[in-house]
Structure 1
Amino acid sequence: MRRRHDDHGQVTLLIIGFAGILLMAIVAVIDASSAYLQRQGLDNLADGAALYGADLGSSGIYEEGLGDGRLSQQEAAVRTAVHDYLARAGAARKYPGVDVVVHVDPAGRSVTVRLVAPLDLPLTIPGSPSSPRVAASSTAAVTVVGTG
């Protein structure tokens, strides 16, 4: 007597496997979208903080006059302006645990603000990093442009 092979159980296993792969893909897309949106928010904060710091930290007008090129920056004034901007924008509330690094480049007469925050993902994939972080950086300078 010949035994007949039945593929019924194999199809069920295949469907369950594909469903698992599809679920993992959905989770990855949701997490990637969330990470992108959080990075964009940090980008906006870093841009605003760098511009605000460069604007309020400019001291070149009084010492150097209105020559051509970038105005020099006072480091203490820049740091105060950046932290004030971030406090008014609610950065600590929107991104708990955000780290702020402010760098004033005297040679380039520019301000760089780097923000690093824990990434809050809505879903997690097994084996993914337990505490991912997202970062954004922006550089700004105040330049005098001739009116003639």
Structure 2
Amino acid sequence: MIIGLAVVLAMLVAVVVDASAAYLQRQGLDTVADGAALSGADLGATGQETYTTGVPEEELRLTPEAVRDAVRAYLAATGAYAHYPGLTFDVAVDANEHRVLVEVRAPIDLPLTVPGAPGRASIGATGSAVVAVDRP
């Protein structure tokens, strides 16, 4: 009975440690996703056309290519690719609402494994930002 209880206790410790590692990585990815969305919205809406034609009177245009490039540059500049090996991202642009949605995903190596559970998992986070012209 003592051996069985020790096995159950060890599995419980492994589950708690793995859940804590996953939670901490998701918190870090939340920060990365929020920063990438803000950067994508800002740089995607104030691209080269803003410098050549000025800020438009009615609305800023978000182009998916410019947003994607801004997000990629942000992730490289902040070292996110090095900190989260295998990091991938997806960008969605809602031009009607001037909204940028960034989803990041990265594999996580779980510190401990429970027998029968996968040793490698993937975790993700989503960030969004809205950009619009403020007129007095």
Settle same-fold status: TM greater than 0.5. yes
Show structure 2 runs of 5+ residues with no match.
none
Q: CA RMSD in A?
A: 1.9
| Corresponding residue for residue 77 of structure 1 | 66
Q: Normalized against structure 2, the TM-score is what?
A: 0.86
Kept after mapping to 2: 8 A contact 1:71/1:141: no
Show structure 1 runs of 5+ residues with no match.
1-13
| Corresponding residue for residue 118 of structure 1 | 107
Residue 85 of structure 2 is aligned to residue 96 of structure 1: yes
- Cα deviation digits, residues 43-83 of structure 1 (max 9, x gap): 10000000011011115974631x5xx73312222111110
Using the TM superposition, name which of 46-55 and 122-131 deviates more: 122-131
2:121 to 94, 110, 132: 132
Q: Which amino acid aligns with 1:136?
A: A
Post-superposition, which runs of at least 4 consecutive aligned residues in structure 1 deviate over 2 A?
59-64, 143-147
Q: Counterparts in 2 of 1:1-148, with a 5 A limit? A: 14-59=1-46, 62=54, 64-65=56-57, 67=58, 71-147=60-136
Q: Percent identity?
A: 48
Q: State the alpha-carbon separation in 1 of the partners of residues 118 and 82 from structure 2.
A: 23
SS of residue paired to 2:71: helix
Q: Which amino acid aligns with 2:25?
A: Q
Q: State the alpha-carbon separation in 2 of the partners of residues 91 and 104 from structure 1.
A: 22
Larger Rg: 1
Q: State the alpha-carbon separation in 1 of the partners of residues 31 and 86 from structure 2.
A: 17
Q: State the alpha-carbon separation in 2 of the partners of residues 132 and 121 from structure 1.
A: 7
Q: State the alpha-carbon separation in 2 of the partners of residues 88 and 124 from structure 1.
A: 33
Shift of 1:131: 2.8
